[in-house]
Amino acid sequence: MTEQIINLETINPIEFFGVNNNKFDLLKKKYPLLKILSRGSFIKLSGQAIEVNQAKEKIELIVQYLERNGHLSENYFLKILGDEDGNIDEKLMEDINNDIIVFGQNGKVVRAKTANQKLLVKSAEQNDIIFAVGPAGTGKTYTAVALAVRALKNKSVKKIILTRPAVEAGESLGFLPGDLKEKIDPYLRPIYDTLDDMIPPDKLNYYMTNRIIEIAPLAYMRGRTLDNAYIILDEAQNATELQIKMFLTRIGPNAKAIITGDMTQIDLPKNQVSGLGKAIRILKNIKGITHIELDGNDVVRHRLVKEIIKAYNHESEMSQKKDEHFNGK
């Protein structure tokens, strides 16, 4: 007779046991010859050594999965328990160990889908400040928000702060109806949409009401120290040099920041210069700061978005060659 005790303190027990212990019952059904007891935040296994060790391995995989993602559907619970022989398919093991960042609404899997998105996830685990730059549709913001949500669920940070420069893209803010919040909200809408994908409405409302998740224009960051937080500066190509410097110097001791931007979509007035490129250049050799460059191969929107980006890039290259020709270069 062998006994093993497994600690569940690092996860939400409801996610492990399920509603009315339905997942726990599946575990006991999978190992009918074992005595499996729940005692507070511990699981006790008793039985033959081979079965105890097999069950322990599966439970530890489930705990590992929940530590990273916060949620585990009943379907995935069964898949981790494996087939009749206890084997888990290779794709699921890859999901457990690699690509899944977080589970969104209704068990939706949010994962890093491309090589550079996976590099962004890995870099975020190893660095405190990450610049993620690339064209539209490459998943910069989506991946960054998923990483922040995962960190909040894992309790490695106490809050998420999401910010954007409130820069007009061909329309004047002053002509929009409503008060300041109503004028600014359209600029922050993409961030709300991303959060809607990852957090249930009631939970998201609780987070925002209690300022656990803050969404605000970049100007509102001035004078603050942002500690125990995951901070995302989105659309950073529309921030000036002084604004980016201000943002970066807000970061507290226990904080991470991801700065995303697309240098081909700068909406600043002609008399202002984007500070994103300079920030990447002058900070590139500082340990703990890294730069990820996403490209057309990372586009995960409609297949035509990739072709649109290629067409615009080609047109830009042709225009540059013409300018160089006329300037005698």
Statement: the pTM of the whole predicted model exceeds 0.75:
no
Residue 224 and residue 81 share a domain: no
SS in 3 state form for 14-50?
HHHHCHHHHHHHHHHHHCCCCEEEEECCEEEEEECHH
Tell me whether residue 324 is in a domain. Answer: no
Phi, psi (deg, nearest 5) at residue 259: -110, 120
CATH number for the domain harbouring residue 252: 3.40.50.300
**Per-residue confidence (pLDDT) for residue 14, from 0 to 100:** 85
H-type alpha helices, the chain: 13-17, 22-30, 49-69, 74-81, 90-94, 115-126, 140-153, 180-198, 201-209, 241-248, 276-283, 303-326
Residue 70 and residue 196 share a domain: no
Residue 261 and residue 200 share a domain: yes
Give the SS3 label for residue 259. strand
Residues 100, 109 contacting (CB under 8 angstroms) = yes
User: Which of 54, 88, 122 finishes a domain?
Assistant: 88
Tell me whether residue 316 is in a domain. Answer: no
Tell me whether residue 262 is in a domain. Answer: yes
Tell me whether residue 309 is in a domain. Answer: no
Domain that holds residue 157: 109-298
Residue 239 and residue 198 share a domain: yes
User: Which of 57, 88, 119 finishes a domain?
Assistant: 88
**Per-residue confidence (pLDDT) for residue 169, from 0 to 100:** 45
Tell me whether residue 38 is in a domain. Answer: yes
Chain centroid to CA 169: 26
**Per-residue confidence (pLDDT) for residue 170, from 0 to 100:** 42
Residue 124 and residue 69 share a domain: no
CATH number for the domain harbouring residue 74: 3.30.1370.10
Number of domains in the chain: 2
pLDDT tens string, the chain, 329 residues long: the values are: 889 998 887 778 888 898 889 999 999 999 999 999 988 888 999 999 989 988 988 888 888 777 666 677 888 888 888 776 666 666 666 656 566 788 776 656 777 878 888 899 999 999 999 999 998 888 899 999 999 999 998 889 999 999 988 765 444 445 555 555 565 666 677 788 888 888 888 888 999 899 999 988 888 888 888 899 999 999 999 999 999 999 999 999 899 999 999 998 888 888 889 999 999 999 989 999 999 999 877 876 666 776 787 788 778 777 776 666 566 55
Residue 160 and residue 79 share a domain: no
Amino acid identity, position 2: T
Q: What percent of the chain has pLDDT over 70?
A: 81
Tell me whether residue 311 is in a domain. Answer: no
**Per-residue confidence (pLDDT) for residue 171, from 0 to 100:** 43
Tell me whether residue 94 is in a domain. Answer: no
User: Which of 32, 58, 88 finishes a domain?
Assistant: 88
**Per-residue confidence (pLDDT) for residue 246, from 0 to 100:** 94
Residue 285 and residue 144 share a domain: yes
Residue 287 and residue 142 share a domain: yes
Residue 59 and residue 141 share a domain: no
Residue 135 and residue 60 share a domain: no
Residue 142 and residue 79 share a domain: no
Residue 156 and residue 114 share a domain: yes
Tell me whether residue 327 is in a domain. Answer: no
